[in-house]
Amino acid sequence: MSTDYRPMWIELGLDLEAHDALLGVLGSLYEQTFMKQHNRPAGMKYFDFVMSEVHGLRIQELVDARKQGRKVVGAFCAFVPEEIVLALDGVMVGLCAGAEFATAEAEKFLPRNTCALIKGFFGFALARVCPYLAASDVVVGENTCDGKKKSYEIFKDLVPRLYVMDLPHTKSAEGRSLLRAEFRRFAAALEDLTGKRLTPDVLRRGIAAVNAKRSAMHRLARLRAADPAPVSGLDALLMNQVYFYDDPARFTASVNAICDELEQRADRGDGVAPKTTPRIVVSGCPMAVPNWKLPAIVERTGAVIVGEESCIGERGTQFLTADTGRTVDELMDAIVDRYFKIDCAIFTPNPSRVEHVMRMVKDLDAHGVIHYGLQFCSPYQIEAGPVEKRLEQEGIPTLRIDTDYGQEDVGQLQTRVEAFVERLRG
């Protein structure tokens, strides 16, 4: 970062000392994890730049947008409909929580056996180190797992404005009605906040912008089927992470540019690892910035990740929203239809998730699956058993990993991943 952003951070109320410490750790972790990779596509320079300015230029853009009267919506979950935010001229940003920070402080509010992601967003808020949180006019929490649902009851006192969205837990007609009612309530609240009204035209524009972003990600996902893999799993995860906070049009153009490059790589048989490299799909809990721990271990071990069945990955991006409705009601229904298909483990039962994993293994020519669960995440850790059983029955080798954001278990994970990769090599 060449510009001095300190005045902006002070104005946002950040604790500069703690924030400097966070940026220092983030910078060296990024350097070690990403910059030493072999044969990276040139297009990753854009994402390196985004990461180098993650608390700088992008925050400046959010501050400038607010000065122009636009509202910034911070979100934790793939269920928050960005189409509606964009239609009302808002800006949506993902609130990452992919690192441990001020854990001792967070544990004054939360039991120790709370997942790292929830402790992460508490820690970031309590330590005043997240400029995305500070720049948000409203933070949207969602009643998904018990941990999030109950923690928002406390979190509401830590942020200026928390909006809680209820979510269904079954894919029933009643579940769909609940989602429909909640998306309407959310749209009405955002209309109040922004002073703008939904019309078919603005909704179609919001849908088009998000569909374009998702289509670019679909293109990236398809290109990862090439053998040798044209891009590493780490770099693809990074693009999936940046998806949540970059400007949508600029992000779409940058992913499409890298896809042009990956297409050429695939045509000439150029890749990031030799053709014989074991190919892995990772499935499970979302990996928010800067949670690169498991993918770094996997790729250091000599395997390549070719897909993520995750909300920061294909679970989050896999469906487009139909844009053919003529009225606000019809377009809102199309948005509900699209989000209702997300197969998060909070749904019971949730059979489409394992079907999706199997489709990914086939389409991406993968040799095995690593199921990634965050410790104390009941939905994904419990679903891991049946998912593993079904995959193994289908002849897909599967490794179950439960971990957190700490570094203490890296050696043990490395050993388990090495043994799994050996199994894949046959």
> Which spans of this chain sit near ligand BJ8 (rule: CB under 6 A)?
77-79, 115, 117-118, 144-145, 147-148, 285-286, 311, 342, 344, 346, 374, 377, 379-380
Smallest separation, CB 396 to ligand BJ8 (Å): 22
Alpha carbon distance 255, 218 (integer Å): 10
Task: Give kind and range of the element (H or E) at residue 91.
Answer: strand 91-94
Query: Closest distance between ligand BJ8 and the C-beta of residue 80, in Å?
Result: 9
Q: Which is nearer to ligand BJ8, 121 or 420 (CB)?
A: 121
CB of residue 290 vs ligand BJ8: minimum separation in angstroms? 16
Smallest gap from Cβ 166 to ligand BJ8, in A, equals 13
Give 140 or 273: the residue with its C-beta nearer to ligand BJ8. 140
DSSP-assigned beta bridge partners for residue 373: 402
Q: Which is nearer to ligand BJ8, 145 or 296 (CB)?
A: 145
**Tokens describing residue 279:** 């190919």
Helix, strand, or coil (residue 372): strand
- Least Cβ distance, residue 286 to ligand BJ8 (angstroms): 5
Over its C-alpha atoms, the chain yields an Rg (Å, rounded) of 21
What the block records as the tokens of 363 is 């389409």
Closest CA to 306 of 314, 318, 297: 314
Nearest distance in Å: CB 95, ligand BJ8: 11
φ/ψ of residue 77, rounded to 5:
-135, 150
For 311-358, the DSSP string reads: TTTHHHHS-PPP---SSHHHHHHHHHHHHHT---TTSSS-HHHHHHHH
Q: Which is nearer to ligand BJ8, 78 or 370 (CB)?
A: 78
CB of 346 to ligand BJ8, least distance (A): 5
46 vs 79 by CB, closer to ligand BJ8: 79
First-to-last alpha carbon distance for the chain, in angstroms, is: 46
CA distances from 231 to 161, 186, 319 (A): 40, 38, 23
Closer residue to ligand BJ8 in complex, CB, 60/375: 375
Backbone angles phi, psi at 107, to 5 degrees: -75, -5
Residue whose token pair is 């608390």? 55
Q: Which is nearer to ligand BJ8, 278 or 284 (CB)?
A: 284
**Cα–Cα distance for residue pair 275/284, rounded to 1 Å:** 26
